[in-house]
């Protein structure tokens, strides 16, 4: 029997198996190559931003452009901290993003639990009506929201930045889809033991919903961290500006100083990048379990 052919296996079958295995390897190599090229293409703006943030004024506009600054000017980051109240912008953004994320998790989980587990007349119709608000562009509600904030005297306050964003139809939909996957037998057993609706929500639903809650937390935090239009409208004082608004004004003041602008932008995205890396495992799992992964 020829070498390399297993006992009892026809030579043609062995060659066919090797050909199929080689074909799979080639397909994987092509797929990984395509993913690698796509990743580099997606990282190109980010890498160029970091490179520009470390260049001197004379290096920014030279042609052909240089990818590696020579030498790297780390003082650009320190200069940005001196030119603008970057620390105040960071504090404002952190307060708003963290508070809105916590409130959104609370309100969305309460609403999702009611729509997924409680039975009351008109529940499904009310949920569809609530879900229909996702089709309304955010620009449509800006003027009514601003008039309400102005009437309440909340302009240039944290309340104006936090309260309108604390309720999310998307977050309710996301958590409801996950809550529906939790076996109802657990809830029935807890009810037989005398557990209240709030007790079931606290001791059963929430502990089992870690991936979905982490996913919503990442979505909510990223949205508020990068929010621009609403903070621009409801804040007039420099001390109340968030990072996105502050960097936008800084871009006007530091016209032509792209190295400073890129340094400020890099500092503004570092916290959100750290958050995503810390919650990446829960984020991916939550996307898959809530049915939003395209399956």
Q: Which long-range contacts (CB under 8 A, 24 or more apart) does 104-107 make?
A: 104/165, 104/166, 104/167, 104/168, 104/171, 104/216, 104/220, 105/171, 105/213, 105/216, 105/217, 105/220, 107/166, 107/167, 107/168, 107/171
Residue-wise pLDDT tens digits, 137-146 = 888 888 999 9
Question: Which pLDDT value is given to residue 12?
Answer: 61
Query: Which of these, 104, 84, 69, 85, lies nearest to 212 by C-alpha position?
Result: 104
Lowest mean pLDDT among 102-116, 254-268, 273-287: 273-287
- Alpha helices, H only, 153-242: 158-162, 169-179, 184-192, 197-200, 210-225, 229-234
DSSP 68: S
Residue-wise pLDDT tens digits, 48-107 = 888 888 888 778 877 787 778 878 888 888 888 887 888 888 899 999 999 999 999 999
How many angstroms from the chain centroid is the CA of residue 232?
A: 21
Q: What does the chain come to in residues?
A: 295
Task: Quote the radius of gyration of the chain (alpha carbons, Å).
Answer: 26
Q: Helices 123-132 & 169-179, crossing angle to 10 degrees?
A: 140
CA atoms of 89 and 126, how far apart (whole Å): 39
**Under a CB-based contact definition with an 8 Å cutoff, are residues 248 and 254 in contact?**
no
Band of pLDDT at residue 10, cut at 50, 70 and 90: low
CA distances in angstroms from 137 to 38, 95, 140, 156, listed in the order given: 31, 26, 6, 24
Question: Which pLDDT value is given to residue 6?
Answer: 47
CA atoms of 185 and 189, how far apart (whole Å): 6
């Amino acid at each position: 029997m020829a070498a390399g052919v297993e006992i009892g296996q026809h030579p043609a079958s062995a060659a066919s198996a090797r050909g199929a295995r080689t074909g799979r390897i080639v397909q994987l190599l092509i797929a990984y190559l395509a993913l690698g090229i796509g990743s580099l293409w997606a990282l190109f703006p980010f890498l160029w931003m970091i490179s520009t943030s470390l260049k001197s004024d004379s290096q920014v506009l030279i042609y052909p452009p240089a990818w590696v600054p020579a030498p790297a000017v780390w003082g650009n980051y320190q200069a940005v901290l001196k030119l603008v109240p970057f620390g105040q912008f960071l504090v404002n953004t952190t307060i708003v993003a963290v508070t809105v994320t916590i409130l959104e998790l609370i309100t969305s989980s309460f609403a999702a639990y009611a729509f997924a587990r409680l039975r009351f007349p008109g529940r499904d119709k009310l949920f569809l009506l609530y879900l229909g608000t996702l089709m309304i562009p955010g620009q449509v509600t800006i003027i009514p929201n601003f008039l309400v904030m102005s009437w309440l005297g909340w302009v240039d306050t944290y309340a104006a930045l936090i309260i309108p964003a604390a309720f999310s139809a998307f977050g309710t939909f996301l958590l409801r889809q996950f809550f529906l996957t939790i076996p109802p037998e657990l809830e029935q057993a807890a009810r037989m033991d005398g557990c209240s609706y709030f007790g079931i929500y606290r001791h059963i639903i929430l502990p089992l919903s870690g991936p979905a809650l982490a996913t919503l937390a990442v979505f909510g935090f990223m949205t508020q961290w990068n929010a621009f239009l609403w903070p621009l409208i409801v804040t007039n004082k420099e001390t109340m500006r968030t990072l996105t608004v502050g960097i936008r004004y800084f871009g006007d003041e530091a016209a032509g100083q792209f190295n400073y602008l890129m340094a400020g932008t890099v500092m503004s995205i570092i916290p959100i990048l750290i958050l995503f890396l810390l919650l990446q495992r829960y984020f991916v799992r939550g996307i898959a379990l809530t049915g939003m992964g395209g399956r």
